[in-house]
Structure 1
């Protein structure tokens, strides 16, 4: 089976007020004291954020256990310096992001101006192993129509700067303001993909290949396809669901490529509409059908994703787990729905953040 690894970005907040705290450097120093060679926790663009990364796993139960351990360890380290971690894709409270000290981040702030502040958002990136760049690009070409469904399932960012945005995933709308973010056209081959990335870097608009922020891309440092559309998920079990579906999509796309089946030739403009619709409504209303690109109830579109990946899910032994997780998510609602329900109950965005600290750890 293909291996899967996950990167999650978390907010660092005050445990009582929910206010973001610029404490990532202190937390990383504390982590290095415990384990000088640790590679689980990393600095992010802003000091109020922390990234965690799992090791590659073949079995979803192992991945779920590692995500839970990483979140628990992040919470312990945060507690030792007087803060807490929250798996929120945007900060519900008003905040002025504090840029982390790093030459790369200073370059971004100078190049992209105030749009850099819009990247104070937390995503979940899923890495799925591929056998070669050629297979990886074939997968990228065939994943495109299905990525908005993952966005809808992971939606966890309804609030921004103290207000309800009307979106389930406002993070994705903020992220899309970057010059290289979003869906891509068909590449056709690894050589064509490499030429496109080289041309983008040569334009001078971005610094290097690491700033090619496609919705899905070949990872810069690993032999993986990196799927980047998802919000960080409030609950760890949703992260596992997203990772499981991502692997099934990669495997299905690779099988289609080997069988000589062409990718769907949707235009980027239509893919942007599908992405916008997923960000707007999450699972609450309609999504655009990945094949027909026409409105369809969200539950039916999720069912179409399960049908499309059925053979891959069966092959990895994940069918029953995914079906159960999807049913639970459709019943419980996304992280965005949970946040809005918390606000309705408490009347306080601060209480929303504080409660989400608890939900982050299960």
Structure 2
């Protein structure tokens, strides 16, 4: 199985539940206390993001979903430990449930983005869960991207975990996905056909000055700007460290299935972007509570059929590598417990308000380890980081 890794952008939350602009202090604490030489080179990292209220944690490349789960747990705990020194907690919440006016990080690039995009940049206090899968070349990456397009709405629906934003229930399972698509460079795109054509189109998008650089190409799936990977960017993070494993486990199978189709000379499905955009919207609107378009026909179907279709699509590649068990187990768990949006709504009902919902989410993020010293909440049923700036 191809190696893969994850980037989770974690909201840094204060004990009150309000976001705190302390990412710089958390990174400084990590550097000061125990950032061991060579750790970054082995593939781990924590970095700043567009706003000071966010912190990105990235795992090293792995080949097994169990390893990924352990890496996620490790970095959530590391982030929480250093956040404690700044009087904060971390919670893997896809969109801030409480009202907040986020502060942009220092740096020319972030300042440019704030001036260029105004309210759109201010609204982007959201966190995505990005999965990277190894590729051998740009040509291979672009061939994969053309073949996975129709399937990407299903991982969005599976991971949907952000019904609350700025203190209100917005009526979406993943409001993060709607806010994120406010960027002019985000969402589904057409089939490029070749790496040269992809690079030409990206250059044309950057050329008019709307985008600062290619790092601002926020396609649902893109060739990564730094690593030899394809980066799938459609999922919400989830406080429960076991939950991201299902979309992450499906993604390498999706890429490998696309690789086999490319090697066999089978062309990509030419479903139009005009159909993919409504499919993406429906996944964000309803998650697994509504009728999503079937990824093959784009016609309305049940969530069970959509998830089942994706599993069948990738199953051969995963079985061949002895890696299908986590997917089957994840789907079974999903059917028993629903997705994150349902859990967030239940927490709001049981805990009594968005502010009280944040602490249980922080507990889940660190597997119940409360580094802030608070009582555990019972749960129901800068320029030194320029490379991070370039890949926001």
What TM-score comes out, normalization by structure 2 length? 0.90
Q: Deviation per CA, 1:104-156, whole angstroms, max 9, x where unpaired?
A: 11010011111101211000111000121111111000010000001111111
CA distance in 1, matches of 2:323, 2:365: 24
CA distance in 1, matches of 2:207, 2:318: 40
Q: Deviation per CA, 1:162-221, whole angstroms, max 9, x where unpaired?
A: 100000000010010101000000100111111111111112110111001100000011
CA distance in 1, matches of 2:55, 2:114: 19
In the alignment, does 2:22 pair up with 1:23? yes
Shift in Å at residue 346 of structure 1? 2.1
Instruction: Give the secondary structure class of the aligned counterpart of 1:227.
Output: strand
Worse-matched range after superposition: 231-240 or 124-133: 231-240
Shift in Å at residue 315 of structure 1? 2.1
Equivalent residue number for residue 8 of structure 2 = 8
In the alignment, does 2:145 pair up with 1:140? yes
In the alignment, does 2:304 pair up with 1:299? yes
Q: Is the 8 A contact 1:283 1:330 kept in 2?
A: no
Q: Is the 8 A contact 2:171 2:285 kept in 1?
A: yes
Instruction: Give the secondary structure class of the aligned counterpart of 2:364.
Output: helix
What TM-score comes out, normalization by structure 1 length? 0.98
- Structure 1, unmatched stretches of 5+, are none
Equivalent residue number for residue 341 of structure 1 = 346
Instruction: Give the secondary structure class of the aligned counterpart of 2:211.
Output: coil
**2:207 pairs with one of 202, 207, 210:** 202
Q: Deviation per CA, 1:16-48, whole angstroms, max 9, x where unpaired?
A: x21111110000000001216554110011111
Name the count of aligned residue pairs: 361
Shift in Å at residue 233 of structure 1? 2.0
Q: Is the 8 A contact 1:12 1:83 kept in 2?
A: yes
Equivalent residue number for residue 31 of structure 2 = 32
Equivalent residue number for residue 275 of structure 1 = 280
Q: Deviation per CA, 1:67-95, whole angstroms, max 9, x where unpaired?
A: 11111111111112211000100010111
Equivalent residue number for residue 76 of structure 2 = 71
Q: Deviation per CA, 1:53-79, whole angstroms, max 9, x where unpaired?
A: 111111221111111111111111111
CA distance in 1, matches of 2:168, 2:328: 34
Matches within 5 A, 1:220-231: 220-231=225-236
In the alignment, does 2:234 pair up with 1:235? no
Instruction: Give the secondary structure class of the aligned counterpart of 1:19.
Output: coil
Matches within 5 A, 1:256-335: 256-335=261-340
Q: Is the 8 A contact 1:156 1:234 kept in 2?
A: no
Q: Deviation per CA, 1:237-273, whole angstroms, max 9, x where unpaired?
A: 1212211111110000010111111111111110001
**Which one has a larger percent helix, Structure 1 or Structure 2?**
1
Shift in Å at residue 228 of structure 1? 0.6
Equivalent residue number for residue 245 of structure 1 = 250
